[in-house]
Amino acid sequence: MSAGSSATAETPPRPDVPTIGAPGRAPTRRYEARRNAILASAVQELNHRGLRGMTLGEVAARLDLVPTGVIYYFKNKEELASACYMRALDRFEALITDGLSETLPQAKVERFIRAFFDFKREAEEGTAERIAIFSDVRTLNAAAVNERYVEMFRHLRRLLDGPGATRLPRLHRNARAHLLLSETTWAPAWLRDFELADYCRAAARMSAILTEGLAAPGAAWPTPRKLDLTHADDPDADASSELFLRAATELINAEGYHGASVERISARLNVSKGAFYHHNETKDELVVACFQRAFDIMWRAIRAAEQGGVCGLEVLVSFSAALVEHQLGGGAPLLRTSALVTVPESIRPALMAKFDRLSRRFASILSDGIADGSIRPVDVNVGAELITGMINAAAELHDFAPGLTPEAATDHYVRPLFEGLLSAPAGA
Q: Per the domain annotation, does 371 fall within a domain? A: yes
- Report which residue type is found at 139: T
| pLDDT confidence of residue 339 | 77
Closest residue by Cα to residue 93 from 42, 135, 153, 160: 153
273 and 415 co-located in one domain: yes
Per-residue confidence band for 231, with pLDDT thresholds at 50, 70 and 90: low
Q: Is residue 104 part of a domain?
A: no
Per-residue confidence band for 279, with pLDDT thresholds at 50, 70 and 90: confident
Report how far residue 203's alpha carbon sits from residue 191's, in angstroms, rounded to the nearest whole number.
Answer: 10
Residue 394 contacts residue 321 (beta carbons within 8 Å) = no
Q: What is the 3-state secondary structure (H, E, C) of 26-50?
A: CCCHHHHHHHHHHHHHHHHHHHHHH
Whether 185 and 70 share a structural domain: no
Last residue of a domain, one of 75, 96, 117: 75
Asked whether the beta carbons of 406 and 175 are under 8 A apart, the reply is no
Q: Is residue 163 part of a domain?
A: no
Residue 58 resides in a domain? yes
Looking at the domain assignment, is residue 246 inside a domain? yes
Helix-strand-coil split of the chain, %, nearest 5: 65, 0, 35
Are 203 and 304 in the same domain? Answer: yes
75-129 confidence digits (pLDDT tens)? 999 999 999 999 999 999 999 999 999 999 999 999 999 999 999 999 999 999 9
pLDDT digits (tens, 9 = 90+) for 352-372: 899 899 999 999 999 999 999
Cβ(116)–Cβ(95) below 8 Å: yes
Amino acid 5: pLDDT? 39
Full domain range(s) for residue 71: 1-75
Confirm if 287 and 252 have CB atoms less than 8 A apart: yes
**257-262 long-range contacts, Cβ below 8 Å, gap at least 24?**
257/50, 257/52, 257/53, 257/287, 257/339, 257/342, 257/343, 257/344, 258/49, 258/50, 258/52, 258/53, 258/342, 259/50, 259/51, 259/52, 259/139, 260/287
Q: Is residue 226 part of a domain?
A: yes
CA distance linking residue 146 with residue 118, whole number of Å: 26
Q: How far apart (Å, rounded) are the C-alpha atoms in residues 339 and 343?
A: 7
Q: What percent of the chain has pLDDT over 70?
A: 90
- The rounded distance, in Å, linking the Cα atoms of 182 and 173 is 14
**How confident is residue 37, by pLDDT bands cut at 50, 70 and 90?**
very high
Judge whether residue 21 has pLDDT over 80. no
Q: Please give the single-letter amino acid code of residue 39.
A: L
In this predicted structure, the answer to whether residue 233 has a pLDDT above a threshold of 90 is: no
Task: Mark whether 338 and 223 lie in a shared domain.
Answer: yes
24-33, 110-119, 345-354 — most confident range: 110-119
Which CATH number goes with the domain that contains 258? Answer: 1.10.357.10
Answer with the one of 12, 47, 75 that is the final residue of a domain: 75
Residues 417 and 302 both lie in one domain: yes
Which of left, alpha, beta for 50 (phi over 0: left; psi -120 to 50: alpha)?
left
- Burial annotation 143-162 (CB, 10 A radius, 16+ → b, else e): eebeebbeebbebbbbbbbe
Overall average pLDDT of the 156-160 stretch: 96
Q: How confident is the model at residue 12 (pLDDT cuts 50, 70, 90)?
A: very low
Q: Is residue 419 part of a domain?
A: yes
Q: Say if 115 falls within a structural domain.
A: no
Same domain, 66 and 183: no
- 211 touches 113 (CB < 8 A): no
pLDDT for position 223: 92
- What integer pLDDT is reported at residue 17 of this predicted model? 41
Distance between CA atoms of residues 100 and 161, nearest Å: 10
The stretch 324-328 carries a mean pLDDT of 91
User: What is the residue-wise DSSP string for 209-250?
Assistant: HHHH-SBPTTPPPPPPPP-----TT-TT--HHHHHHHHHHHH
Cα 122 from chain centre: 21
Cα–Cα distance, 140 to 82 (Å, whole number) = 8
| Total of domains in the chain | 2
pLDDT at 76: 95
The predicted model gives 204-210 an average pLDDT of: 98
The domain boundary residue, chosen from 13, 40, 75: 75
Residues in the chain: 428
Q: Write out pLDDT tens, residues 392-415.
A: 899 889 989 999 999 899 999 999
Distances, alpha carbon 409 to alpha carbons 149, 191, 336, 413, in Å: 23, 28, 18, 5
